[in-house]
Amino acid sequence: MFETIRNAWKIAELRKKLLFTLLIIFIFRVGAAIPVPFMVPENLINVSGSGLFEYFDIFTGGAFSQATLFAMSISPYITASIVLQLLQVAIPALEQMAKEGEAGQKKLAKISRYITLGLALLQSTAYYLMHRNSGAVKYTTGASGVLAALVIILSFTAGAMLIVWLGESVDKKGIGNGISLILFAGIVSRGPRAILMLWEMLKAGFYAQQYKYFVWVPLIIVLFLVLIGLIVLMTTAERRIPIQYSKRVVGRKMYGGQSSYIPVKVTMSGVMPIIFASALLSIPSMIKTFGNITSGWGAKILSWFEYTHPVYAILYLILIIAFNYFYVAIQYNPIQMANDLRKNNGAIPGIRPGKPTADFIAKIISRVTLIGALFIAFVAILPILLGAVAKLPIAMGGTSIIIIVGVALDTVRTLESQMMMRHYKGFLE
């Protein structure tokens, strides 16, 4: 990978793109440290161990817990993208728009921005109300409550839309996917804090003579490295469905006769099922926080959905598997794939064209999806189980590792594809 970056740096055009990408990441980190007016840092809600809020804080690089300009980060954009994908299944006009090529994609991108703006306003308002109830909003002399609310809400909303613009700028002038790289930068920026936390555990174990830390901390580090290797393996793994194209004569030339394959990735849905499941399970926590429910049977039921509760872990596992199948069903249509093969005189060896081909493809996708779903669920549940057994505060590390590894591999592949056009050797050859 480092050899790839070094070779890319030698090319003037790629060097400019790399520098531009680094500039965008730097702007993102600066924005994540700019405080929003009328907020009192010492009164901000502590998100540590609060499930969803800690999850948001990891993705924003600490901006969420500090209530800075980029506190909303890319969460409105991700939610908008999910909503738009679901609407494409339900609304034929949007589905047709997605098939119109570049012009249709531009229209969908415009619709996505409007949805992002609406969601950013909604989330910023909820975030403001949450902090106002905790006393984290300060009204200065001459400023009314309405003015403070408008400034805070509009600042968070503007930050969310600015991040969308930064991500799209990387897509046009930089390297890799801009939104993914911003998400990558936010997670990586939390790395020093995680290392410091492990070091503090070792120190606490030494002074308090709690020797369990000398066992669990090295074990966590080893599991972390093993998990990276497994994620790299599963991210690049695929099931190849063989395809044979029949020969045909057009004039004096013969076409076809080649052998090819349809690649079906094991983790084709990435972290989207985890995001779906987390968003759904976050609703009870949000109700408990915003409604200030601390006692009674309602608080007891809502406590089942806390990050450390066994009910949460079980529901989390089930929802990840279910959403994985749902997301793959949206992306892959076996009937359409079988029809496209027939139109191009292609066939799967030993399988008749038409419905048998569609059924065979559906069966392969279902099996591969199950393997990918179980792996993603295992990675997502592992920190919860490890934290419960070791009695240690472990954040959602599995999800973070999947994102970091996935974005790093995609970025390296992008560099490789651009260098191959210039006949440079890279890491993935």
| Alpha-carbon torsion, ordered 261, 262, 264, 265, to 10 deg | 70
Classified as helix, coil or strand, 263 is strand
Separation of alpha carbons 78 and 75, rounded Å:
5
Q: pLDDT grade, residue 158 (50/70/90)?
A: very high
397: its two tokens: 């590390």
pTM beyond 0.85? no
pLDDT in tens, 186-195: 888 877 777 7
Which amino acid does the sequence have at 102? E
Number of H helices, E strands in the chain: 17, 5
Number of Cα atoms under 13 Å in the Cβ half of residue 325: 13
Maximum average pLDDT range among 16-20, 78-82, 412-416: 16-20
Q: What percentage of the chain carries pLDDT values higher than 90?
A: 7
Which of 35, 273, 245 lies closest to 152, judged by CA?
Answer: 35
pLDDT at 165: 92
Which helix (H) or strand (E) element contains residue 69?
A: none
pLDDT above 60 (res 203): yes
All domains of the chain, ordered by start, with CATH?
1-189 (1.10.3370.10)
Mean pLDDT within 15-22: 89
